[in-house]
Amino acid sequence: MPSTLQPAPIPSFRGTRRRRRTKAVAAVAGLALLVPVGFGVSEAVDRWTAPPASEQTIDRSPAPLLLAMRDIAQYHAATGTFQVLVDVEHDTPYVPSALSGERTTFFATGNVDAQVDFAKLGPESVTVSPDRRSAAITLPAPTLTPATIDPAQSRVVGRERGIAERIEDAVADNPRDDSELYRLAAAKLDAAAAQSDLTTRAGDNTRAMLTGLAQSLGYESVTVNFAAPTPAAP
């Protein structure tokens, strides 16, 4: 029998297209998965290789508490800044200072104000002429406030200590107490202010202030007198 030739199969482009489409979709999906992974790896590498973050300071302090409020009736007419060097030595009798003893030198800077008290002024403190062109004002004498030491401008400049004191501090871990130095320095600043002309300057400034105020009210002549200062307690 004569052989019958079968026609060659026609290649199907649908399968090829389907496979290509499947490969393309898989490639896109793989790329979509690799992109975030790549970003994650990049961020991790940046965190590993980046310099460490600087230290942060967080203030957890509570809000300030108002304890009291009061009116001030003193006129601070002048202020003086004083400096003093305090040299204090504590010795142990019959023992060399190298073995037991302490000597401290403290340099202190502080302020002292001169003020005039207006709290007790009344109608009797002011005398006005009948024509209301002149006035006389009588005030208490200026006084000095206690010295206020400025810690930022004060410091210990020398401290010599014996072996016994060093060993005692090392064993007991005693905190340093310089309150005695501050008390002595404040007392010396008070004495220096008392010997200065700070109260005189305060009187002049107060007189000038009140004279200008009275003249602005229409008085032509203004006299400001100060009472005698109260003697200091012995």
Encoded tokens for 35? 């992109």
Residue among 34, 191, 41 at smallest CA distance from 108: 191
Q: How confident is the model at residue 173 (pLDDT cuts 50, 70, 90)?
A: low
Give tens-digit pLDDT for 5-59: 454 454 444 454 445 554 544 444 444 444 444 444 445 445 545 556 678 888 8
Q: How confident is the model at residue 106 (pLDDT cuts 50, 70, 90)?
A: very high
Encoded tokens for 37? 């992974």
Q: Give the chain's radius of gyration (CA, Å).
A: 44
Give tens-digit pLDDT for 189-231: 999 999 999 999 999 999 999 999 888 988 889 899 998 877 6
Encoded tokens for 91? 């010795």
